[in-house]
Structure 1
């Protein structure tokens, strides 16, 4: 009996290592799982980056297209403004008649020159001293000889030296004409506006309103131009400037 137990124990001892050796191995899948997650994450990250790059490229192309469109619209606007200015100049010349050509193809109103010259001669004995009259005539002579730069210098000096003269309004008016002829529209508008606002009793106010209306049109301020010219027609319906303004508006100005 003892021998049988010994034999069984020996057999059991022999079988135990064999059973352990034959048991299936349990692998550690944690590391493998983490590796797969990292690979998937890397794959997704790469795909997302590619998508973002494609979207960015599309946006860059769209911005370039829009920028080109803006440049095109700016060019078209500039051309329309130039054509509009030329249209107003053509209308002004047809309405006003005989003008003297100045720089940049602009004009100085010959009829206005005659009117201002006449007012300088007849009004000098009223409130203008000899120096003011002489300085005014010297400045106006430069207009007649088409020395516009010299005339501007002379009239600018006149309004400083003789600001209280009855010829000051006329001098500001001529500065408006001269700056307009040189296509310096801001300075022209300021000079005409000075006549209107600071010399409201001057006979040159209707003419200044008419010219300021034309300058505003050339500046691209069509609505301001029409409003001013309509006001001129209403306030001075019988004046020559009012008549010209009415004709100008009727002609499409």
Structure 2
């Protein structure tokens, strides 16, 4: 009886041991399938994340381009507004000169003038004001190269004109609009150097900073822009200089 019990116990022990043996996880087809699915899911998630990043990058690039376009439009509007102010000034000066002539008893006799040549029959070889208006009209029409040449000619022919500082500024501006930043920088600097009392000084300093920015001369650009703010704090040029400095800081420049 004891032998039977001992044998039965041995059989039970073997059975228990056998029952504890399972198929290794790597050989379990269900587990293997689950692992494969998890791997595929991870791959899909990575692809989706990459697509999302690509989409975000594309949107950022689009927004950056739109911001650049808006900045260009703002500069064009500022350019046009400046032109309107100049035309108003020209109109005022023209009216004022006519009133002065009337108060003095009529038109002047034919003579050689400082800024234009009048002949005996009253016809005039282009006056400084007419030459200026012609050059400015070319600028308004978008003929920037021709406008630049016209303003350069004006500066050469009428160095003593009250409009020569404006002509020098618009000569520089015509180069700037054509993205000739090196040439524009040189011409804007002439406004500052030759006409220190000109009302175009703040705008010229601002545009010098803009040109240096485009030429990757970051330190010089920052110096000019900070100078605008320091010397002309209440001007529109100072506000625009501050905006460009903020942009440069955001770009790490």
TM over 0.5: yes
**Of 84, 88, 91, which aligns to 1:118?**
88
CA displacement, residues 101-135 of structure 1 (integer Å, 9 cap, x when unaligned): xxxxxxx8222322333333334667x84600010
**Match among 151, 155, 158 for residue 155 of structure 1:** 151
Does the CA-based 8 Å contact 1:233-1:243 persist in structure 2?
Answer: yes
Structure 2: which 5+ residue stretches go unaligned? 1-63, 98-113, 117-126
Correspondence 1:1-253 to 2 at 5 A: 94=71, 97=74, 99=76, 109-123=79-93, 129=115, 131-252=127-248
SS, match of residue 188 in structure 1: helix
* CA distance in 1: counterparts of 2:231 and 2:190, whole angstroms: 18
Structure 1: runs of 5 or more not aligned: 1-86, 101-107
Q: Deviations over 1:153-212 (max 9, x none)?
A: 211110000111111111111111111122222221111001111101010100111111
Residue 147 of structure 1 deviates from its aligned partner by 1.1
Change (3 A) 1:92 1:236: farther
> Would the alpha carbon gap of residues 137 and 247 (structure 1) be closer, same or farther in structure 2, given more than 3 Å must change?
same
Q: Distance in 2 between the 1:99 and 1:244 partners? A: 13
Relative contact order (C-alpha < 8 Å, sep 6+): which is higher? 1
8 Å Cα contact 2:165/2:200 also seen in 1: yes
Distance in 2 of aligned mates of 1:170 and 1:202: 8
TM-score (ref. length: structure 1):
0.56
Change (3 A) 1:95 1:183: closer
Q: Distance in 2 between matches of 1:97 and 1:147?
A: 20
Change (3 A) 1:210 1:203: same
Report how many aligned residue pairs link the two structures: 158
